[in-house]
Amino acid sequence: MKKKKVNLRDLKPNSEEQHSHDDGHNHGHDDSSSFKTYIPAIISFTMLIIGIGLDYFDVSFFQDWIRITWYSLAYLPVGFPVVKEGWNSIKKGDVFTEFFLMSIATIGAFIIGEYPEGVAVMLFYAVGELFQSAAVNRAKGNIKALLDVRPKEANVFREGDYKSVSPEVVNIGEKIQIRVGEKIPLDGILLSEKASLNTAALTGESKPDSIQKEAKVYAGSINLESVIEVEVTNKFEDSSIARILDLVQNATARKSKTELFIRQFARIYTPIVVFLAIGVTFIPYFFVEDYVFRDWLYRALIFLVISCPCALVISIPLGYFGGLGAASKNGILFKGASFLDAMTKINTLVMDKTGTVTKGVFKIKEVKAIDWKETEFMQYLMAMEEQSTHPIAKAILEYKSEGEDFEAQDVSEIAGKGLKGIVSGKIVLVGNKALMTANNIDVPTETESIVESIVLVAIDNQFAGYVVIADELKEDAKETITALQKVGIKNIMMLSGDKDSITQQVAKELNIKNAKGGLLPEDKLNEVEILKKNPENKVAFIGDGINDAPVLAASNVGIAMGGLGSDVAIETADVIIQTDQPSKVVRAIKIGRSTRKIVWQNIILAFGVKVIVLILGAGGLATMWEAVFADVGVALLAILNAVRLQRMSWD
């Protein structure tokens, strides 16, 4: 699906008009699931059935101009949009489209007096288009959704007070205030003494970032602990969040999606049948003694009516629609039929770490107490951490301890190092190595090899132990990598904004040989672009954060975690895993392959029957009703075949 190139800076947050457009046609329908989309087909179907009934009972008044007018009115709701599309294509120099074929075939049916057949054939086509539009437009992304992640207001200090204004009108050097839970609207320098920021959406860093006064802060970060003040250093259009949104838009503009098979097929099929119909009209003149132009023109028009690819048009979208339905039942949302196809061609999978294969929340990984019982050691530590609101403290407080809780007194925070206090009459230090060094406490060398977040503890000036805090792997992460290799995805790569040491350790646990950490959104995008330079690589990327959105847009197939994923990642991606389980990616690939198999079965069936009826039609042995009946029969078989997808299992 190609999207219009839009300058995000020109869009307003409340704009309802700016939106992406699909290159496919949908006959002007903005919402294919809306009931009004089906009204033209319902009107045509109702009038066709009534007309056939009047013909069958040979009602006296239903003759001549009344009959022609009735069927013409039945034809217009479904036929006019197609004829108009065909005419517009011709004006652009694209003559042999499916619209052109449908137009001349059905109008030809009217010319030779086969009015019901003309309406029926176009009605079949319209129904097929509705199925296709519903599949392609389902959950289609919208550029406006990108604006939802932009901070919508900034509290700027002006005229002795803080005023809420648009971030776009804040100047460099002005002071802004950010409350707890709010996004920082602009890049700047921290004026407050300290801040704890969630930067996961920008960097993928799983651990909240604790920073001190005069440190740089970036737009899009979330303030976690207390009200802070920031001096603005960049205008909004130059901020980190604006840059990421711009990357998304540029990557989306470069992204081209595979057309459905019917669109490509029609460009070859249509001129062939048109020229064959011309041949059926004129070539017999040279070989038949009693050649009558009107008779052979009649036969050629019947040939054109028969040649309409109605069964193809219906059966192919139905196959894809069955695949989309099966995927939805399995917690997987494809944003169009073409992505089911694209999933079958993937041979390279690139994945994010935090929130994709890990849960994105802190858990205690290891408790190491030295010369203390573990439970008693943890009681001292928990008493101290109760005085902190840091996410790591929250993870430690989830530890289940026995006995009475200890209470900490005279707790003070040592900037950038940790906490100092008194618990049960003992001096307790909790923090990093810098805190231990400042208090002349020796730390075991084994702690230096630990890559995860580590909390060191000293009691009465003696090192008492440490606790390792880490982001936890999702339950199905390991089996996902094994299953991906089994389905033929041999090239698996992990890219993360988290520390490289942590990224490498997670990759090792999952048996992923190629991994890189400490990457900015631009770096991730560059890595994927390098992979795509090899035309043999069909790259899928799976991620969940705002920082993943540019890569999701640039990859052949973008896969987003829908449960915990950011809105931008979900809107930019082609496939949404609604349950946040990475193993569903394997199931998505299997469903795509099953769908493609069913679709090709339907294509071969429909095309095979079509060829047979075309030959009979050219020889004058088949009427249009027989052709329509053959199409209906094939369509029913195709429907039954597609329904099989709903009952398949991909465990």
459: nearest Cα among 571, 344, 555, 379: 379
Q: Are 628 and 121 in contact (CB under 8 A)?
A: yes
Structure tokens at 600: 């090709």
DSSP per-residue letters across 388-449: ---HHHHHHHTS---SPPP-EEEEEEETTTEEEEEETTEEEEEE-HHHHHHTT----GGGGG
230: nearest Cα among 242, 243, 213, 244: 213
Quote the Cα angle for 531-351-338, to 5°. Answer: 70
End-to-end CA distance of the chain: 30
Over the Cα atoms of the chain, what is R_g?
A: 33
Structure tokens at 7: 């300058």
Q: Are 66 and 111 in contact (CB under 8 A)?
A: no
221: nearest Cα among 547, 564, 501, 533: 547
374: nearest Cα among 345, 401, 414, 334: 401
Residues whose CB falls within 8 Å of the CB of residue 382, separated by 6 or more in sequence, listed in order: 396, 397, 399, 401, 405, 406
User: How are strands ordered across the β-sheet holding 216-217?
Assistant: 161-165, 154-158, 175-178, 228-232, 188-190, 216-217
Distance CA 581, CA 477 (A): 8
Structure tokens at 159: 């005229």
199: nearest Cα among 440, 442, 615, 547: 547
Query: Quick check: helix, strand or coil at residue 356?
Result: coil
DSSP collapsed to 3 states, 555-617: CCEEEEECCCCCHHHHHHCCEEECCCCCCHHHHHHHHHHHHHHHHHHHHHHHHHHHHHHHHHH
Single-letter code of the amino acid located at 276: L
Q: Provide the angle, in degrees to the nearest 10, between the axes of the packed helices 64-91 and 115-137.
A: 40
Would you please indicate which residues are annotated as catalytic (active-site) residues? 352
Q: Provide the angle, in degrees to the nearest 10, between the axes of the packed helices 115-137 and 624-647.
A: 20
Query: Quick check: helix, strand or coil at residue 181?
Result: coil
Q: In terms of C-beta distances under 8 Å and separation of at least 24 residues, what long-range contacts does 435-443 make, across chains too?
A: 436/463, 438/414
Other beta carbons within 10 angstroms of residue 610's beta carbon come to: 23
Distance CA 492, CA 502 (A): 18
Helix (H) or strand (E) holding 491: strand 491-495
Distance CA 355, CA 543 (A): 8
Structure tokens at 352: 């994010």
